[in-house]
A and B are shown apart, each in its own frame.
Chain A
Amino acid sequence: MDGQDGDCEAATPMTYIKKLKPHEFSIWKNKSPLLGQLDIELTERCNNNCIHCCINLPEYDDARNREMETAFVKDLITQTADLGCMTVRFTGGEPLLREDFAELYEFTRRRGMRVILFTNARLITPEVAGLLAKMPPGRVVEVTVYGMRPESYERAVGRKGAFAEFRRGITLLEEYRIPFIVKAALLPCMKDDLAEFESWAHTIPWMDKAPGYSMNFDLRSRRDDPAKNARIAKLRATPEETVAMLSRNPLYLKSMKQFCGKFMGPPGDKLFSCGAGHGTCVDAYGKAQMCMGLRDPMTVCDVRAVPLKTILEELFPAMRESAVATSPEYLNRCALCFLKGLCEQCPAKSWMEYGTLDTPVEYLCAVAHAQAHYLGLLKDGENAWEIAGEDWRERVAQFTRDDAR
């Protein structure tokens, strides 16, 4: 027996048991877990009807009848725990719309996994807050904010009375001392509320950094509503607005120097140079997606038919390995472009926009070029894919070592 390192005489408090904070969590030693975190979309339905949302369905939509039943979600969670996964993220739609949310939450926690909850907070009731207080999720609740006053909030979410419910939810989280953070959708109707939002965010004790914003909104990720796509496109921040927003953060330049030092360079013709398929997001109907955005039916696997372990060990790696771009546009641009790290172009975005995995997304290309121009990586009128290897390497090296900026 080894009280500590074979010395049983040295048995003192904390000899046998060691505290692990999440960032110290090193049980996986020199390898990665098969599944570090499972994302589950419990429903695509939502009590909001946000003007920019890429996925929401009405609260009482018939889709409810096709959603994963409670027992199936529990089986999925059990499979996840058996893989050694430590974290489950419940998202949607609005996950609190599920009548079995409390049951699924408690089941997940009792399998020893921590829970991340994405919510608009409108359905945080005393019962939900009480549950989260009694059995803490282990990770902060993440609340998306759409406005700081009824007019702006309800213009964004399309529901009368929603702002009061959101505020009540936040008050309950505060009263029950549930750790939460806030993030915002930077819609036109939110812009006048920005200063107030940031002042408030600053007072939330669990906010350890500036709030995150979504502003380059995705089109409908099931490609189900061309009319709404046209409206979403108009709500997106322009490339210039995106740069202005990002560069407000005093840490932006420093973080971009570190980032660009690691992640720039042409991706070539391999489509999945991202993390897609190294984990999974299971949609509301039991389909495992390679990432939260990629819903192309050709790339999803049915968890009702194939065990999660097989999907992660065999099917997704095979898809990652075999997927190469064939579109000439992609091969002549994205495949050669050194801004790959800055650009959000990926198979999921391409599919949402054009229904293929390899069509360059013009909007994202423009956003990446605007950022690169701001950072001094590109000159006026230059296309990043036309910059030769030695040249872009030198530009990136100069940017990362430039202390004057």
Chain B
Amino acid sequence: MVELTPDMKCAPSEDVVARMIEDELIIVPLVAGIGDMDDELYTMNETGKAIWSRLDGEKSLRAIADDLATEFEAPPGQIEKDVLGLMTELVQRKMVVVR
């Protein structure tokens, strides 16, 4: 398992499609092995949506956390923890790749 650090850069995997429907972020797996079943879909909470929308493979996870901390006027350390937590989960699920 990859140990993520704040300096890493991540991007959405080409094996998923992200759709915004009714203000919900829906992640649709395209290939086998992402979900437990082939017909599963995923949705994210507000934190997840805010982080996902900033994943471009260019910004580091720390830069994304700083950006969010500014926007939401929240402690950067806590935001960074959120970002790393979500990215760890998404990398494990093969929804995000580390660049």
Chain A: residues with CB nearer than 8 A to chain B?
Answer: 1-4, 8, 11-22, 25, 27-29, 81, 84, 86, 109-114, 133-139, 179
- Asked whether, in the complex, the Cβ of B39 is within 8 Å of the Cβ of A11, the reply is no
Best-buried of B39, B42, B86 by chain A (most CB within 10 Å) = B39
Counting from the closest, the 4 A-B pairs by CB-CB distance are A112-B17, A16-B48, A136-B38, A112-B28
In the bound assembly, the distance between CA atoms of A25 and B19 in angstroms comes to: 14
B residues in contact with A81, CB < 8 Å: 19
In the bound assembly, the distance between CA atoms of A136 and B16 in angstroms comes to: 12
- B55 touches A (CB below 8 Å): no
Taking a contact as CB atoms closer than 8 A, the residue among A3, A20, A135, A136 that contacts B82 in the complex is A3
- Asked whether, in the complex, the Cβ of A111 is within 8 Å of the Cβ of B47, the reply is no
- Asked whether, in the complex, the Cβ of A18 is within 8 Å of the Cβ of B44, the reply is yes
Q: List 13 A-B contacts (CB under 8 A).
A: A1-B68, A1-B72, A8-B74, A15-B85, A17-B86, A17-B93, A18-B43, A18-B44, A22-B41, A25-B41, A114-B28, A134-B32, A136-B39
B residues in contact with A133, CB < 8 Å: 32
- Asked whether, in the complex, the Cβ of A27 is within 8 Å of the Cβ of B22, the reply is yes
- Return B85 CB to nearest CB of chain A, in Å: 4
Query: When A28-B22, A84-B22 are in contact, do A1 and B79 touch as well, CB less than 8 Å?
Result: yes
- Asked whether, in the complex, the Cβ of B79 is within 8 Å of the Cβ of A21, the reply is no
- B50 touches A (CB below 8 Å): yes
Best-buried of A8, A29, A134 by chain B (most CB within 10 Å) = A8
Other A-B pairs, 16, CB within 8 Å; known A11-B85, A114-B39: A1-B82, A2-B47, A3-B82, A11-B81, A12-B85, A17-B42, A17-B89, A20-B40, A21-B41, A25-B41, A27-B22, A86-B41, A113-B28, A114-B28, A136-B39, A138-B39
- Asked whether, in the complex, the Cβ of B46 is within 8 Å of the Cβ of A2, the reply is yes
Which residues, 16 to 46 on B, are CB-close (under 8 Å) to A? Answer: 17-19, 21-22, 24, 26-28, 30-32, 35-46
- Asked whether, in the complex, the Cβ of B17 is within 8 Å of the Cβ of A135, the reply is no
**Which chain A residue has the least Cβ–Cβ distance from B41?**
A20
- Asked whether, in the complex, the Cβ of A1 is within 8 Å of the Cβ of B50, the reply is yes
Taking a contact as CB atoms closer than 8 A, the residue among A1, A15, A21 that contacts B39 in the complex is A21
B residues in contact with A109, CB < 8 Å: 17, 30
- Return B60 CB to nearest CB of chain A, in Å: 18
- B90 touches A (CB below 8 Å): yes
**Which chain B residue has the least Cβ–Cβ distance from A14?**
B89
- Return A131 CB to nearest CB of chain B, in Å: 11
Query: When A1-B78, A11-B82, A112-B26 are in contact, do A20 and B19 touch as well, CB less than 8 Å?
Result: no
In the bound assembly, the distance between CA atoms of A138 and B29 in angstroms comes to: 9
A residues in contact with B28, CB < 8 Å: 112-114, 138
Taking a contact as CB atoms closer than 8 A, the residue among A16, A20, A134 that contacts B45 in the complex is A16
**Which chain B residue has the least Cβ–Cβ distance from A179?**
B38
Query: When A27-B21, A84-B22 are in contact, do A16 and B35 touch as well, CB less than 8 Å?
Result: no
Which residues, 62 to 99 on B, are CB-close (under 8 Å) to A? Answer: 68, 72, 74, 78-79, 81-82, 85-86, 89-90, 93
- Asked whether, in the complex, the Cβ of A136 is within 8 Å of the Cβ of B48, the reply is no
In the bound assembly, the distance between CA atoms of A135 and B36 in angstroms comes to: 14
- Return B53 CB to nearest CB of chain A, in Å: 13
In the bound assembly, the distance between CA atoms of A120 and B93 in angstroms comes to: 35
Best-buried of B47, B79, B81, B93 by chain A (most CB within 10 Å) = B47
- Asked whether, in the complex, the Cβ of B17 is within 8 Å of the Cβ of A110, the reply is yes
A residues in contact with B26, CB < 8 Å: 20, 27, 112
- Asked whether, in the complex, the Cβ of B85 is within 8 Å of the Cβ of A112, the reply is no
- Return A85 CB to nearest CB of chain B, in Å: 9
In the bound assembly, the distance between CA atoms of A21 and B41 in angstroms comes to: 6
**Which chain A residue has the least Cβ–Cβ distance from B86?**
A16
**Which chain B residue has the least Cβ–Cβ distance from A11?**
B85
Query: When A15-B45, A27-B21, A84-B21 are in contact, do A21 and B40 touch as well, CB less than 8 Å?
Result: yes
- Return A332 CB to nearest CB of chain B, in Å: 45
In the bound assembly, the distance between CA atoms of A11 and B28 in angstroms comes to: 23
- Return A32 CB to nearest CB of chain B, in Å: 11
- Return A364 CB to nearest CB of chain B, in Å: 34
